[in-house]
């Protein structure tokens, strides 16, 4: 039998995030690109917990870019905590499965 030209494929991460060192208040981007068919949905996790972006909360300072990267308008960092510091992974899913990127740590530079 002839194969259909476009077979569905499970997700595959083709661009992994890399460790970042950013200054407080600066923008930052954690890259992630995934391919698959159908196009996988990308979610981010920080220290094992799902990262909320402006898709869930319009006031969020984190945006999920169309390709799957996570963009921070500015890195939040205060005396009371470091909400953006941690270890991030990007997870791409479609109905055939999921792919998990390498760990990337985001660190805020000390003044």
What's the pTM? 0.90
* CA dist., res. 80 & res. 100, Å (int): 31
Q: Would you tell me which CATH number, out of the four given (2.60.40.10, 1.10.3370.10, 3.40.50.920, 3.40.30.10), belongs to the domain 9-108?
A: 2.60.40.10
**pLDDT tens per residue, range 15-56:** 999 999 999 999 999 999 999 999 999 999 999 999 999 989
Domain boundaries, the chain: 9-108
């Amino acid at each position: 039998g002839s194969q259909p030209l476009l077979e569905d494929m499970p997700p595959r991460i083709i661009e992994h995030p890399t460790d970042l060192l950013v200054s407080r208040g600066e923008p930052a981007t954690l890259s992630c690109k995934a391919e698959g068919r159908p196009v996988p949905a990308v979610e981010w996790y920080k220290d094992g917990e799902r990262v909320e972006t402006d898709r869930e909360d319009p006031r969020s300072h984190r945006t999920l870019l169309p390709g799957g990267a996570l963009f921070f308008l500015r890195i939040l960092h205060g005396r009371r905590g470091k909400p953006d510091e941690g270890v991030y992974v990007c997870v791409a899913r479609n109905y055939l499965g999921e792919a998990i990127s390498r760990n990337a740590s985001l660190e805020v530079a000390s003044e």
